[in-house]
């Protein structure tokens, strides 16, 4: 009994197959299989590298350093003046035009823009609560001298005098000669691989003297701002005047099945505020900041800066792949099963479109119906035994009956 179970367990079950020796179906079958296999080998495995486990998230650290001198408002500006924030972050701004409002003290003063022109106090009531003014609108109309004219302007409370950002200021065009040094190290935590964006074989002088070029010098970490503007098709004067955002994308795409020295960055440059080109409001990039001073008697005053800047975003994206058994297996199984699915198509052709389809059906399908089974059960309980006996006996009868059964097949 127990032995029977063990014997039963160690049997091997394989499907019985019909082999159709037909040129038409045979060729269709092989062509379908070839198409499926080519797809999997060529696209899924070779092109899409489905045998690899991939990691898309990357730990990245970026340090930047800008060099260069520019003239602005008759000042020579250096890095400490025109780069904000100063600590060499991945996102930094180079100020290209600064509108300065000097010596602002807390107090009340007339607004500057003609949007706030008034004849009497009541003209100013509508502006109360306005957040686009230079200070809190008090609702009083004041006389203000703009140029040589005396005009009415609403009074505002805050830092005075009010900023006049309509003045024309020459932008700092020297920015095209500036250079940006980018130091980027990335780590793929899944594979514990750490890489830097320039080769450890480059000497100090090599790096100092090089200048990034997509073909000639693709691994040089020093970028010329003028070149970047060229790559992104930006006009220097417009950009310096209005400000803008430029993305420097450092793309790591590493196949770790190869030598790790091939895991190198690729740089690309885009104008980030491109989707807003047509929107007047967001055309450019500017922000305000202040420098604070104190008079001898301890009163604070400030210089307001409205700064138009080119903002550089160093964005690092990474993708690494390495052979792994799980995706390989799952895709291999999918491939094999897909090959098997080819028979579905061939079966349809074989059993419906070919001459002799009925004969093929007869060969492929064996029918058994409830009716038969019931009949066999009802007519004689003996028949059930003879049925099983039939199987057994056919084997027992040895070579001859086996030959018979094969003949029958």
Q: Is 189 in the site for a second copy (CB under 8 A)?
A: yes
Query: Which ranges in 147-288 belong to alpha helices (H)?
Result: 204-209, 225-231, 236-242
Interacting residue with a second copy among 37, 49, 65, 226 (CB under 8 A) = 65
Q: Does 370 bind a second copy (CB under 8 A)?
A: yes
Helix axis angle for 398-408 and 381-396, nearest 10°, is 110
- Under rule CB under 8 A, residue 9 binds a second copy: yes
In terms of CB distance, is 352 or 380 closer to a second copy?
Answer: 380
Give the residue among 233, 245, 308 at the shortest CA–CA distance from 275.
Answer: 245
170 is in an annotated binding site: no
Question: What does the DSSP 8-state code read for residue 275?
Answer: G
Chain-centroid distance of CA 5 in Å reads 57
Q: How far from chain centre, in Å, is Cα 70?
A: 35
Q: How far is the CB of 167 from a second copy (least distance, A)?
A: 18
CB of 160 to a second copy, least distance (A): 10
Interaction of residue 1 with a second copy, rule CB under 8 A: no
Least distance between a second copy and beta carbon 245 (Å): 6
Q: Is residue 129 a contact point for a second copy (CB under 8 A)?
A: yes
Q: Which residue has the tokens 């420097």?
A: 248
306 is in an annotated binding site: yes
Q: Considering the rule CB under 8 A, would residue 29 count as an interface residue with a second copy?
A: yes
C-beta of residue 327 within 8 angstroms of C-beta of residue 335? no
79 in contact with a second copy (CB under 8 A) = yes
Q: Which residues in the 376-395 window bind a second copy by CB under 8 A? A: 376-377, 379-380, 383-384, 386-388, 390-391, 393-395
The three-state secondary structure class of 80 is: helix
Sign of the alpha-carbon torsion through 223, 229, 230, 236: negative
Out of 176, 250, 304, 314, the residue judged to bind a second copy by CB under 8 A: 304
Task: Report the nearest approach of a second copy to the CB of residue 146 (Å).
Answer: 21
* C-beta pairs of 37-41 under 8 Å, 24+ apart in sequence: 37/335, 37/339, 40/331, 40/334, 40/335, 40/338
> Which sign, positive or negative, has the C-alpha torsion 319, 321, 325, 327?
positive
Residues numbered 81 to 100 that lie near a second copy (CB under 8 A) are 81, 84-89, 91, 93
Q: Footprint of a second copy on residues 307-326 (CB under 8 A)?
A: 309, 311, 313, 315, 317, 325-326
Query: Which of the stretches 109-117, 147-155, 192-200, 232-240 binds a second copy when contact is defined by CB under 8 A?
Result: 192-200
Is residue 115 a contact point for a second copy (CB under 8 A)? no
Q: Hunting for tokens 């027992």 — which residue is that? A: 396
Say whether residue 35 binds a second copy (CB under 8 A).
Answer: no
Tell the smallest beta-carbon distance from residue 285 to a second copy (Å). 6
**Are 255 and 319 contacting, i.e. CB atoms less than 8 angstroms apart?**
no
Quote the least distance from Cβ 64 to a second copy, whole Å: 9
Q: Is 169 in the site for a second copy (CB under 8 A)?
A: no
Please report, as residue ranges, which positions from 330 to 349 form the binding site for a second copy (by CB under 8 A). Answer: 330-331, 333-334, 336-338, 341, 343, 346-347
Interface with a second copy in residues 201-220 (CB under 8 A): 202-204, 207-208
Footprint (CB under 8 A) of a second copy, residues 269-298: 270, 272-282, 285, 287-294, 296, 298
φ, ψ at 112 (rounded to 5°): -105, -45
SS (H, E, C) 229-240: HHHCCCCHHHHH
Of 38, 106, 114, 126, which lies in the binding site for a second copy, with binding defined by CB under 8 A? 106
Token pair of 26, please?
A: 């045979």
Nearer to a second copy, 7 or 148 (CB): 7
249 lies in the site for a second copy, by CB under 8 A: yes
179 marked as binding residue: yes
Q: What are the tokens at 253?
A: 């795409």
Decide: helix, strand or coil at residue 339.
helix
Is residue 107 within 8 A of residue 125, CB to CB? The reply is: no
CB closer to a second copy, 143 vs 279: 279
Other C-beta atoms within 10 Å of 98: how many?
21
Distance of CA 268 to the CA centre of its chain: 13
* Binding residue positions: 65-67, 179, 286-288, 306
Q: List residues forming the annotated binding site for ATP.
A: 65-67, 179, 286-288, 306
């Amino acid at each position: 009994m127990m032995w029977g179970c063990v014997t039963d367990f160690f049997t091997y079950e394989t499907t019985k197959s019909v082999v159709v020796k037909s040129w038409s179906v045979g060729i269709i079958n092989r062509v379908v299989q070839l198409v499926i296999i080519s797809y999997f080998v060529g696209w899924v495995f070779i092109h899409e590298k489905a045998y690899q486990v991939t990691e898309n998230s990357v730990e990245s650290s970026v340090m930047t350093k800008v060099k260069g001198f520019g003239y602005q408002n008759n000042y020579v500006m250096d890095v400490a003046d025109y780069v904000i924030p100063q600590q060499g972050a991945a996102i930094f701004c180079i100020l290209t035009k600064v509108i300065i409002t000097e010596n602002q003290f807390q107090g009340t003063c007339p607004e500057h823009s003609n949007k706030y022109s008034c004849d009497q106090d009541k003209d100013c009531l509508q502006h109360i609560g306005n957040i686009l003014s230079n200070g809190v609108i008090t609702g009083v109309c004041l006389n203000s001298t703009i140029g040589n004219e005396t005009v009415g302007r609403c009074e505002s409370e805050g830092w005075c005098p009010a900023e006049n950002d309509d003045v024309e200021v020459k932008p700092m065009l020297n920015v095209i000669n500036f250079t940006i040094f980018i130091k980027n190290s990335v780590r793929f935590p899944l594979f514990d691989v750490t890489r830097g964006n320039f080769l450890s074989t480059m000497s100090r002088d090599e790096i100092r003297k090089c200048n990034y070029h997509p073909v000639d010098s693709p691994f040089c970490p020093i970028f010329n701002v003028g070149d970047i503007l060229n790559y992104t098709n930006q006009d220097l004067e417009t950009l310096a005047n209005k400000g803008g955002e430029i993305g420097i994308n450092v793309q790591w795409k590493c196949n770790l099945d190869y030598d790790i020295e091939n895991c190198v960055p690729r740089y690309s440059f885009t104008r980030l505020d491109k989707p807003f080109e047509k929107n007047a409001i967001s055309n450019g990039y500017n922000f305000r900041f202040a420098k604070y001073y104190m008079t001898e008697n301890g009163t604070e005053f400030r210089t307001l800066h409205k700064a138009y800047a080119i903002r550089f975003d160093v964005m690092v994206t990474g993708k690494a792949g390495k052979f792994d058994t799980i995706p390989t297996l799952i895709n291999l199984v999918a491939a094999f099963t897909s090959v098997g699915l080819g028979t579905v198509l061939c079966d349809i052709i074989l059993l419906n479109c070919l001459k002799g389809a009925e004969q093929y059906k007869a060969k492929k399908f064996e029918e058994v119906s409830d009716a038969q089974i019931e009949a066999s059960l009802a007519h004689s309980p003996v028949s059930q035994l003879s049925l099983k006996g039939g199987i057994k006996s056919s084997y027992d009868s040895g070579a001859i009956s086996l030959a018979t059964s094969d003949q029958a097949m």
